[in-house]
Amino acid sequence: MIRRIATAFLLTVVFITAGFVAGRATAAQPHMQSALLHLRQAKDSLQKATADKGGHRQKAIELVNEAISHVEMGIEYDRKH
């Protein structure tokens, strides 16, 4: 009975700790996460805009995609170091 309670307690502590660590990995970079959200919103708006912009709309979409990629790589880099 005591082993069961101790095991349940330890599992609870492990799950809470794992959740806390996972949450901090994401939350530790609020500005990067915010930038990523805004870039994705900008991409969505650009995709919804009319296509006739002399190629500038398409180029903007490409550059936003590149920026999204770099922000994601920056987040991943920071998680590893």
What integer pLDDT is reported at residue 73 of this predicted model? 97
At 44-72, the pLDDT tens digits run 999 999 998 999 999 999 999 999 999 99
> In the chain, which residue ranges form alpha helices assigned H by DSSP?
2-27, 30-48, 56-80
Q: Domain residue spans in the chain?
A: 2-80
Angle at 64 between CA 78 and CA 22, to 5 degrees: 30
What integer pLDDT is reported at residue 81 of this predicted model? 87
Q: Is 14 helix (H, G, I), strand (E, B) or coil?
A: helix
Q: How far apart are CA 32 and CA 55, in angstroms?
A: 29
